[in-house]
Amino acid sequence: MAMGFHADEIRQLIKKGNFVELTELLKDSHPVDIAELFNELDPQEYLCVFKRLEFSTARDVLEELDPEKITFILTNIKLQYAALLIREMSSDDVADYLGMLPENIRQNFLYLLKNQDQKDIRTLLSYPETSAGGRMTTDFIAFPKDMKAEEALNKLAELAPDAEMIYYVYVVDHKGKLLGVVSLRDLVLSAPHTPLGGIMNTDVKKVLASQDQEEVTRLMEKYGFLALPVVDEEGVLLGIVTVDDVMDVVEEEATEDILKMVGTEEEIDPERSSPWYRARRRLPWILVALFGEIISGNVIKNFSEALQALVALSFFIPLLMDMGGNVGTQSAAIVVRGLATGEVNPEALWKNLLRETGVGVVLGLINGAMVAVIAYIWQGMPALGLVVGISMVLNLTIAALLGTFIPLMWNKLGRDPAVTSGPFVTTLLDIIGLFVYFSTALWILKL
Amino acid sequence: MAMGFHADEIRQLIKKGNFVELTELLKDSHPVDIAELFNELDPQEYLCVFKRLEFSTARDVLEELDPEKITFILTNIKLQYAALLIREMSSDDVADYLGMLPENIRQNFLYLLKNQDQKDIRTLLSYPETSAGGRMTTDFIAFPKDMKAEEALNKLAELAPDAEMIYYVYVVDHKGKLLGVVSLRDLVLSAPHTPLGGIMNTDVKKVLASQDQEEVTRLMEKYGFLALPVVDEEGVLLGIVTVDDVMDVVEEEATEDILKMVGTEEEIDPERSSPWYRARRRLPWILVALFGEIISGNVIKNFSEALQALVALSFFIPLLMDMGGNVGTQSAAIVVRGLATGEVNPEALWKNLLRETGVGVVLGLINGAMVAVIAYIWQGMPALGLVVGISMVLNLTIAALLGTFIPLMWNKLGRDPAVTSGPFVTTLLDIIGLFVYFSTALWILKL
């Protein structure tokens, strides 16, 4: 039920020069919708629309646009207005934007900012993009602890247009050290003359600027905060990360996990559609699998006498390979996701291994019994049924065990468990699975 | 840097009867931390701690606990206090809790609520858990449009303790129909005598109670809202979904997607660790794969004369099967995730197919050339190299094509694309891949 725009309608209004109606149409629209509209318009068209926006809407729209559009707009409007806009944009958005520009153009824009803002932006640009420091904005509100609630509310009304999050007021000492937090809710509810020190909550959850964004996400999800303060080693408040930025992080991290699990880091970005570029992102794990499967082929080669003696052995190769891969990938996905959400405890190695291996045994017994019967009926050889059944039990047990062990181990080594859980696990299980299958065949069928 | 408790320390204080220090320790603690502490204490211990909590903290802690603990606490404190607590809890948390109780116990608790609250809870319980209605709370704030800003602020201060989200005030007509929204930010910034109708934003994004929670997530992420109103078919405001609930949804949906992609809906819940239970959740797709791979085996069987004529053909079965599966799964994961985040447009079927198939062709050419050379060197047969190379190009192209097509098609049929993208795609590709391989072998080697 979200209302958008029809680009055609807007285009008509521009062509007819009907700017009164255009302004009216834009007046109550959400900046995100306007930014989306810009994607469908030509530069001259969206420039024309942009010029009709109220100041605060114009600023909010800028925060949503991609770097090329921002640059086109800022270089095609009056310099003073551009400076004013960029000064009022949220500092993390400005930093994100400037971070994507070439150094020489960046300098031109930095020059438009006030001294303090320049310093803030430079600080933000200095943190890795995925750290708390890289995600934070410096547009927070901090007051001393002896300020009265009433005064704080008035100050807030003054500062609000410039701050990203006015629902939390941070209380700091004269060195900027974070002492506590007061929610706007508490402020509204307090007697006017209470000092902030009396209503602030001193059990403030916070992160270091150098900590990873996953820690930020974890704390905000756990406590349901709208913003989380970021401090330096001395506890000085540097910035805040707001909940809307964190939601993006949660989504990004989940997508990253999924893509790593299938062995690719291809970006899901419809704009970069060159198949060469995309293929390159997928190639590394594909190549690992390629060489792994040549080893699988070699296993078959080493047992080729058995295979020639009983060609029916080959009919079950796909079955055994695929089932092992499926069970292994399932176990790996459960571990990887469990580690990401905190529901799997990486320390409880044996407990996790035992649990998943138990599942592997159960799946192995059920499937092993079924395929043994099927193989017997299909090929009319009870001994072959036995070989396939036993191999299946062994393979699925090994698959569950390794599918659990490898990502847990990789995680313990401080690496990202997701990258090991797709092609790597499958390929390894193929090699082991074929070896187990043919060894069982030699043993039982005495080929 | 989040401060927790040491359960041992708390236990010592209880044992010594040092309740002054205990109360002091709990005073400034976050309810989430206290709830976490309860997990490590015995019922009698956490009951003792609970009784020392301030009312509002006690209520917030209850909202975080699991049903058994809530029931134990509510049945072991004074009835009036229990009634007061449950009345002040957020309506969605109460509904979640009551929804998990057996019908007869639920009635006992519902009876503690006020009439209006009883009605609210019954309404909430009537929506599916994963719909907007199932996720919403009825503790929102709504005012008429002629109310003045100052009066609204005063009312807000009065209502705040009971409302889950005081940062948005909704403006409704006399029938409860949603007209607009005013943020607390705007309220604080407005002249005291402005009517809400004059400052409200009328472009309110909203969802129907029957819509899926994914739509709620999508809108809140897109616009960065802290809460989203939920309405009925007539536009009457029924409740709001708050951002902290949505963050959980994002995480849940991502986990669900990943697990479905590997063909399981196993819960990552360390408490339910029976291997039988877990195996049952994984079995359905494993069985589909099992029967699919018997078809694969049949393909090999149909070509068994060729295989007996040239046993070296079997050495490349694992290679061709696995590579097709990998590329197909990658394409499927990219589509599934892209559909979830909105970066893949489900309508642009041909564009998506073309793009991914292009990647498949590139990967096929690179890998096909490599394996052709490897097969030639390894087996000393140029013709076999050609067979393997050509099959690889065809297989990876088909893999990318089907890996993209199947989830897109499934999505178009209104089903969840994630379920088709793991075992199903892999198994289908195995069957096709083996057929392509042996057909190519017959054609080129004339076996």
CATH of the domain at A59: 1.25.60.10
Q: Which two tokens stand for residue A217?
A: 């996400």
Task: Examine residue A20 and state whether it is found in any structural domain, yes or no.
Answer: yes
Question: What's the mean pLDDT when you consider all of chain A?
Answer: 87
Model confidence at A366: pLDDT above 80? yes
Contact residues, A window 241-260, toward B, CB-based 8 Å cutoff: 243-244, 246-248, 250-251, 254-255, 257-259
Distance linking the first and last C-alpha atoms of chain A? 69
Query: Nearest by CB to B275, which of A283, A298, A359?
Result: A359
Which pLDDT value is given to residue A271?
Answer: 53
- B387: distance to nearest CA of chain A, Å? 15
B428 and B367 within one domain:
yes
Q: Which of A393-407, B21-35, B230-244 has the lowest mean pLDDT?
A: B21-35
B240 and B189 within one domain:
yes
| B276–A362 CB contact, under 8 Å | yes
Domain end (from A222, A238, A261)? A261
Model confidence at B34: pLDDT above 60? yes
Contact residues, B window 421-440, toward A, CB-based 8 Å cutoff: 422-423, 426-427, 430, 434
Q: Which two tokens stand for residue A182?
A: 């007061």
Give the sign of the dihedral formed by CA A320, CA A326, CA A328, CA A329: positive
| B321–A321 CB contact, under 8 Å | yes
Task: Examine residue A136 and state whether it is found in any structural domain, yes or no.
Answer: no
Which pLDDT value is given to residue B1?
Answer: 35
- Closest to B196 measured CA to CA, from B205, B188, B187: B187
| Chain A partners within 8 Å of B358 (Cβ) | 275, 278
pLDDT tens string A77-113: 998 898 888 888 888 888 888 888 887 778 877 887 8
pLDDT tens string B51-82: 999 998 999 999 889 888 998 998 899 988 98
Q: Which two tokens stand for residue B235?
A: 């536009």
A175 and A112 within one domain:
no
A44 vs B259, higher pLDDT: A44
Q: Which of A212-226, A369-383, B160-174 has the lowest mean pLDDT?
A: B160-174
Measured distance CA(A373)–CA(A379) in Å, rounded: 10
Which pLDDT value is given to residue A84?
Answer: 87
Query: Nearest by CB to B333, which of A258, A326, A345?
Result: A258
Please give the residue range of the domain that contains residue A122.
Answer: 7-126
Which pLDDT value is given to residue B161?
Answer: 66
| Chain B partners within 8 Å of A393 (Cβ) | none
B235 and B185 within one domain:
yes
Model confidence at A380: pLDDT above 60? yes
Model confidence at A59: pLDDT above 50? yes
- Closest to A240 measured CA to CA, from A209, A215, A219: A209
A405 vs A276, higher pLDDT: A405
In percent, the amount of chain B with pLDDT more than 90 equals 39
B147 and B122 within one domain:
no
Is residue B137 classed as helix, strand or coil in its secondary structure?
A: strand
Give the sign of the dihedral formed by CA B234, CA B211, CA B164, CA B81: positive
Which pLDDT value is given to residue B314?
Answer: 92
Domain end (from B94, B126, B158)? B126
Residue among A28, A220, A290, A419 with most chain B CBs within 10 A, to mutate: A290
Is residue A115 classed as helix, strand or coil in its secondary structure?
A: helix
Task: Examine residue A133 and state whether it is found in any structural domain, yes or no.
Answer: no
Q: Which two tokens stand for residue B255?
A: 């986990």
- A379: distance to nearest CA of chain B, Å? 11
- What mean pLDDT do residues B26-37 have? 87
In percent, the amount of chain A with pLDDT more than 70 equals 96
CB within 8 A of B178, min separation 6: which ones? B170, B171, B172, B204, B206, B229, B231, B235, B236, B237
Which pLDDT value is given to residue B2?
Answer: 38
Task: Examine residue B133 and state whether it is found in any structural domain, yes or no.
Answer: no
B147 and B257 within one domain:
yes
* Interface residue B373 vs chain A (CB under 8 A): no
- A248: distance to nearest CA of chain B, Å? 7
A51 and A159 within one domain:
no
How many A-B residue pairs are in contact by the CB < 8 A criterion?
Answer: 344
Model confidence at B347: pLDDT above 60? yes
Identify the band that residue A268 occupies on the pLDDT scale cut at 50, 70 and 90. low
Measured distance CA(B170)–CA(B327) in Å, rounded: 50
Q: What is the complex's ipTM, to 2 decimals? A: 0.73
A157 and A94 within one domain:
no
| Chain B partners within 8 Å of A290 (Cβ) | 319, 323, 367, 370-371
* Interface residue A354 vs chain B (CB under 8 A): no
| Chain A partners within 8 Å of B32 (Cβ) | 222-224
B171 and B246 within one domain:
yes
Identify the band that residue A2 occupies on the pLDDT scale cut at 50, 70 and 90. very low
A363 and A238 within one domain:
no
| B289–A326 CB contact, under 8 Å | yes
- What mean pLDDT do residues B245-253 have? 80
Which pLDDT value is given to residue B126?
Answer: 86
* Interface residue A314 vs chain B (CB under 8 A): yes
Total domains in the fold of chain A? 3
Model confidence at A358: pLDDT above 60? yes
Report the CATH number at residue B244. 3.10.580.10
Q: Which chain B residue lies closest to A190 (C-alpha atoms)?
A: B157
A50 vs A420, higher pLDDT: A50
